Amino acid sequence: MALVVDLLTQGLQLILVLALAPLLTGFVRKVKARLLRRQGPSVWQPYRDLLRLARKEVVLAENASWLFRTAPYLIFAATWAAAALVPTFASGLIFSWTADLIAIIALLGSARFFLALAGMDVGTAFGGIGSSREAMIASVAEPAILMMVFTVALVAGSSQLSTVARFMGSPEVGLRVSIGLALFALFIVALAENARIPVDNPATHLELTMVHEAMVLEYSGRHLAVIEVASSLKLLLYVSLIGCIFVPWGMAASGAGIADYALGLALYLAKIVVLALGLALFESAIAKMRVFRVPQFVGAALMLGLLGTLLLFF
């Protein structure tokens, strides 16, 4: 019985992240629009966009190779796998032992690797500029998040997210400087990894300022739809990650009753709403940085993560 419940939880999580991801994107857009005193599109608009994109034909650049056509699916699969392993409403995911937090980060790295390659495939300057800048940002952001992972893993004594969530929800954690530093680092990395302001602008199509959009410029139709889903999933993953590590309260433990699961789900949605509001506020309040300021911004996260880890060695 317990096994069935655990399997159901994992299956539900798998579908939940996929279903919620576009909604989160739509919600952030809506809030940002309202903050600018615009009406903004409905929160359901991303779903409509995806459906329309999926129904349209693909216009493929003449020089595009098989890698360009397979990359969206690989990016989506790697991101989905990572997102399915971050506990959202219940902490006891049955496949949590498949990949720990380091592996989840590396799965996102795989997705980025193929996205950057896809950007290079057609052979225009836009794709190149996107890939090359993405490589630069990732070269600082990835060690930064790994340092954050180290901090969390050292505090919780485990790098498995289910265990981490359980530990961080228990009173043994207490108040630690390292956790605060890690949280700060994770915020910065989440902005950089999801191509948000001030690192990148998800709404721009001004070529010289874009990173993520430049890489996917040649994509159209269903390929673009799959890539859009993957980026939404990534945003949801980071939001869930912050929720799971730093505010794991209310998560249903394995073997809990229906009421606990319902409470966990409600609290999870509340956490998403709060974090999305925070993201929209932050993005509306700050201007985009010059590209070469970004390494300093993300480098700060690296230093915070390293400091957090070093403090734990004392």
Partner 1 sequence: MTILVVLSCVGLLLALPVAAIGIGARFTANSVIYGLAMVACLASLAAALGHLLADTGLVPAVTLPLGLPWLGAHFRLDALSAFFLAVVDLGGAAASLYGLGYGRHETAPRRVLPFFPVFVAGMQLVVLADDAFTFLFSWEFMSLASWALVIADHHERDNVRAGYVYLVMASFGTAALLLAFGLLAGPDGGYGFAAIRAASHSPASASLVLALLLLGAGSKAGLVPLHVWLPLAHPAAPSHVSALMSGVMTKVAIYAFVRVVFDLLGEPQWWWSMPVLALGGITAVLGVLYALMQHDLKRLLAYHTVENIGIIYIGLGLALAFRAEGLPAVAALALTAALFHVLNHMTFKSLLFFGAGAVLTVTGERDMEHLGGLIHRMPATAFAFLIGCAAISALPPFNGFVSEWLTFQAVLQGPKLALWGPKLLVPSVGALLALSAALAAGCFVKAFGVTFLSRPRSTAAATACDVDRFSLATMLLLALLCLLAGILPGLVIDTWGPVVGNLVGQRMPVQSVEPWLTIIPVAAGRSSYNGLLVFLFIAWAALTAAQVIHRWASHAMRRGPAWDCGYPDASPLTQYSASGFAQPIRRVFGSVVFRATEEVDMPPPGDTGPARLTVMVHDLVWATFYEPVARAIGILADRLNAFQYLTIRKYLSFVFVALVVLLLALELWL
Q: Does 292 bind partner 1 (CB under 8 A)?
A: yes
Of 115, 113, 179, 106, which Cα lies nearest the Cα of 143? 106
Q: How far apart are CA 216 and CA 214, in angstroms?
A: 6
User: Among the candidate windows 27-35, 144-152, 196-204, 236-244, which touches partner 1 by CB under 8 A?
Assistant: 144-152
- Please pick, from the candidates 20, 81, 233, 237, the single residue that binds partner 1 as defined by CB under 8 A: 81
117 vs 256, which CB is nearer to partner 1? 117
Neighbours of 209 (CB within 10 A): 15
The type of residue at 164 is: V
- Please pick, from the candidates 28, 225, 235, 242, the single residue that binds partner 1 as defined by CB under 8 A: 225
Of 213, 197, 212, 203, which Cα lies nearest the Cα of 287? 197
- Please pick, from the candidates 33, 35, 49, 132, the single residue that binds partner 1 as defined by CB under 8 A: 132
Contact 133, 155 (CB under 8 A): no
What are the residues facing 90 on neighbouring strands?
Answer: 252
- Please pick, from the candidates 116, 185, 191, 275, the single residue that binds partner 1 as defined by CB under 8 A: 116
- Please pick, from the candidates 1, 3, 39, 66, the single residue that binds partner 1 as defined by CB under 8 A: 66
User: Among the candidate windows 19-27, 63-71, 86-94, 180-188, which touches partner 1 by CB under 8 A?
Assistant: 63-71
Instruction: Write out the two tokens for 73.
Output: 């699916």
The type of residue at 133 is: R
Q: Does 289 bind partner 1 (CB under 8 A)?
A: no
71 vs 275, which CB is nearer to partner 1? 71
Q: Does 141 bind partner 1 (CB under 8 A)?
A: yes
Please report how close the Cβ of residue 40 comes to partner 1 at its closest, in angstroms: 27
Q: Does 60 bind partner 1 (CB under 8 A)?
A: yes
28 vs 111, which CB is nearer to partner 1? 111
- Please pick, from the candidates 12, 33, 41, 143, the single residue that binds partner 1 as defined by CB under 8 A: 143
141 vs 235, which CB is nearer to partner 1? 141
Of 44, 13, 43, which Cα lies nearest the Cα of 28? 43
Q: How far apart are CA 236 and CA 48, in angstroms?
A: 19
Contact 313, 68 (CB under 8 A): no
Q: Does 169 bind partner 1 (CB under 8 A)?
A: no
156 vs 280, which CB is nearer to partner 1? 156
Instruction: Write out the two tokens for 236.
Output: 């949801």
Q: Does 129 bind partner 1 (CB under 8 A)?
A: yes
Please report how close the Cβ of residue 166 comes to partner 1 at its closest, in angstroms: 10
Q: Which residues 6+ apart lie within 8 Å of 89 measured at CB?
A: 13, 16, 251, 252, 261, 264, 265, 267, 268
- Please pick, from the candidates 8, 19, 38, 139, the single residue that binds partner 1 as defined by CB under 8 A: 139
Q: Does 168 bind partner 1 (CB under 8 A)?
A: no
Q: How far apart are CA 269 and CA 290, in angstroms?
A: 34
Of 173, 148, 157, which Cα lies nearest the Cα of 298? 148
Q: Does 286 bind partner 1 (CB under 8 A)?
A: no
Q: Does 216 bind partner 1 (CB under 8 A)?
A: no
Q: Does 291 bind partner 1 (CB under 8 A)?
A: yes
Neighbours of 263 (CB within 10 A): 16
